[in-house]
């Protein structure tokens, strides 16, 4: 990826960007929104008092009404009924009414006058699949109501959302159970059955699988392309002065974005239908190629680059943020650079921590290093552009140096991001052990627990004091883990990635 979309500007090249947005340029999962001007702050304050309460009341009334109609329409239907055949008769008629109510919800929210561009929406028999990108917000659900309530491919968790769960169920979605090892095959099979049937409505897919900041199109998941049927690409834009809709892994909470959006008088949204894409024989046999080619067409229409980022990269960033690993939002880019430099395969950073003879390269050496020293310690060439890019990711803006210990911790995390938190914490204890003798003082324990387990400094200090029962002023890693295994609040340290229970409190 080589650029970031700047509000209503065009793509912003990395060479023209300021240092403080470098991480955002490197990472499509980062978005920041602030009220920059005094006028914006005054307007937001006024509309929070005057406009927001009215909108919330009307939206709630419309949502409850739509939910009640959805409950009536779903009455007497089992999950198997919803998956086996499309609705007909009065249930289908009622779904159109629910769709109209949801369009009213968006209109009241400020999304009135959605602009539709391009060719017309294709009929189901001409394009069984609607491919929508970029996916950047929960507001993208506007596509459902403006495209006539097609069936959507969605994660199963959405079925449990209050109010919205029943509304989504009413579209007869194809649910993806991400924790089920057979879910992928079952989802593909169901998509193929629906896409090749004349009875089912169109299927709407967000092939990126997660939200980005719209600076690029990340890798399209091939599931919706397995049927080998024609798809109609549909792009969605939000050309607003203040981007209050983008919801990514790093950035404002959903509640803040909802507040900022509902206090805007109008939020612009543009939907563009591109010509139906009909796959050739090679694409029919290779869904990944088909998905990639459709992505290229959509990226060209949007005027943004493509990127090889995936949903798995999001999971890596999510866990890094959960544990408070330094530079969490830039680790995906760092991983690619480390692979190109051969550091991933050699696991050099891990060996520095595991081999006692090399501990001198960690203990007693300057913590902040310049480019030449950084490359020397990693055994890479200072003149290599990839090495310079890796250095720039971890470079501190004020000093122009890299915190060597923070880099090491990030690197060992990347070497095995699904490792138990206890293993990552053990590396952290080695890294922050100032003495080099396996004895950690209170400050070192606080740093390790903060950057490897997401604990606050207060929680780290309390853990140290409880472990140092003899008041020696230091503890060993073994002593800490013996203590932690007896405490319920530290259970998360010994669980794997998918069951980590401790989340950093912002």
Q: What ranges do the domains of the chain cover? A: 3-309, 313-499
Listed range (39-53, 87-101, 315-329) with the worst mean pLDDT: 315-329
Give residue 238's pLDDT.
96
In the predicted structure, residue 7 carries a pLDDT above the cut 50: no
Q: Using the 8-state DSSP alphabet, how is residue 51 labeled?
A: T
Angle, CA of 62, 66 and 69, to the nearest 5°: 145
134, 138, 207 from 210: Cα distances, Å = 9, 10, 8
Give SS3 for 469: coil
Angle, CA of 121, 191 and 97, to the nearest 5°: 50
Residue 4 CA to residue 303 CA, distance in Å, equals 11
Q: In sequence order, what are the residues at sequence separation of 6 or more whose Cβ sits closer than 8 angstroms to the Cβ of residue 135? A: 206, 208, 209, 210, 211, 212
Strand pairing class (3-5; 11-13) = antiparallel
Residue 131 CA to residue 212 CA, distance in Å, equals 16
Q: Which helix (H) or strand (E) holds 347?
A: none
Question: What integer is the mean pLDDT of 262-274?
Answer: 95
Residue 319 CA to residue 278 CA, distance in Å, equals 39
Query: Which residue did the predictor score with more confidence, 3 or 90?
Result: 90
Of 305, 294, 332, nearest to 216 (Cα)?
305
Token pair 């060719």 is found at: 119
In the predicted structure, residue 63 carries a pLDDT above the cut 60: yes
**Helices 38-50 and 52-74: crossing angle, nearest 10°?**
60
Q: Which helix (H) or strand (E) holds 369?
A: strand 368-369
Q: How many CB atoms lie within 10 A of CB 321?
A: 19
pLDDT band at 25 (very low <50, low <70, confident <90, very high): very low
Query: What class, spelled out in words, does domain 3-309 have in CATH?
Result: alpha beta
pLDDT band at 505 (very low <50, low <70, confident <90, very high): very low
Query: Which residue did the predictor score with more confidence, 440 or 158?
Result: 440
In the predicted structure, residue 426 carries a pLDDT above the cut 70: yes
Measure CA 195 to chain center: 28
Q: What confidence tens digit (pLDDT) does each residue in 245-256 have?
A: 999 877 899 999
Give residue 496's pLDDT.
52
pLDDT band at 360 (very low <50, low <70, confident <90, very high): very low
Whether residue 471 contacts residue 453, with contact meaning beta carbons closer than 8 Å, is answered with no
Give residue 466's pLDDT.
85
Of 385, 384, 433, nearest to 408 (Cα)?
433
């Amino acid at each position: 990826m080589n650029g970031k979309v700047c509000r209503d500007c065009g793509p912003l090249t990395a060479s023209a960007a300021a240092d403080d947005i470098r991480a955002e340029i490197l990472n499509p999962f980062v978005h920041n929104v602030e009220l920059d001007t005094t006028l914006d702050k005054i307007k937001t304050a006024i509309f929070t008092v005057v406009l927001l309460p009215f909108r919330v009341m009307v939206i709630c009334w419309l949502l409850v009404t739509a939910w009640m109609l959805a409950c009536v329409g779903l009455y007497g239907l089992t999950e198997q009924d919803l998956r086996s055949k499309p609705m007909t008769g009065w249930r289908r008629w009622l779904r159109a009414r629910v769709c109209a109510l949801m369009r009213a919800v968006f209109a009241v929210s400020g999304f009135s006058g959605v602009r539709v561009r391009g060719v017309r929406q294709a009929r189901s028999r001409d394009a069984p699949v609607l491919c929508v990108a970029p996916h950047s917000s929960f507001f993208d659900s506007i596509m459902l109501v403006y495209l006539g309530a097609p069936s959507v491919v969605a994660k199963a968790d959405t079925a449990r959302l209050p109010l919205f769960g029943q509304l989504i169920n009413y579209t007869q979605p194809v649910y993806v159970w991400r924790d089920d090892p057979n879910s992928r095959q079952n989802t593909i099979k169901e998509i193929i059955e629906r896409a090749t049937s004349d009875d089912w409505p169109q299927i709407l897919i967000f092939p990126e699988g997660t939200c980005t900041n719209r600076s690029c199109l990340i890798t399209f998941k091939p599931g919706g392309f397995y049927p080998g049927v024609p798809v109609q690409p549909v792009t969605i834009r939000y050309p607003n002065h203040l981007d209050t809709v983008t919801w990514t892994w790093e950035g404002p909470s959903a509640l803040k974005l909802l507040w900022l959006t509902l206090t805007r008088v109008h939020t612009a949204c543009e939907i563009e239908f591109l010509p139906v894409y009909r796959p050739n024989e090679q694409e029919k046999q290779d869904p990944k190629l088909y998905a990639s080619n459709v992505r290229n067409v959509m990226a060209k229409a949007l005027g943004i680059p493509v990127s090889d980022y995936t949903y798995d990269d999001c999971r890596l960033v999510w866990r890094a943020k959960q544990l408070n690993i330094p530079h969490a939002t830039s680790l995906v880019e760092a991983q690619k650079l480390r692979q190109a430099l051969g550091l991933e395969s050699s696991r050099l950073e891990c060996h520095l921590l595991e081999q006692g003879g090399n501990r001198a390269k960690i203990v007693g050496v300057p913590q902040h290093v310049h480019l030449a020293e950084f490359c020397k310690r990693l055994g890479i060439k200072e003149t290599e552009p990839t090495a310079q890019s890796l250095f720039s990711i971890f470079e501190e803006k004020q000093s122009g140096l890299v915190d060597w210990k923070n880099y090491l911790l990030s690197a060992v995390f990347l070497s095995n991001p699904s490792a138990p938190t206890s293993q990552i914490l053990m590396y952290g204890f080695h890294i922050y052990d100032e003495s080099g003798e396996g004895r950690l003082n209170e400050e070192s324990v606080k740093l390790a627990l903060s950057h490897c387990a997401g604990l606050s400094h207060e929680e780290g200090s309390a853990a140290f004091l409880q472990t140092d029962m003899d008041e020696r002023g230091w503890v060993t890693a073994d002593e800490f883990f013996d203590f932690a295994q007896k405490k319920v609040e530290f259970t998360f340290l010994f669980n794997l990635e998918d069951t980590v229970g401790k989340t950093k409190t912002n």
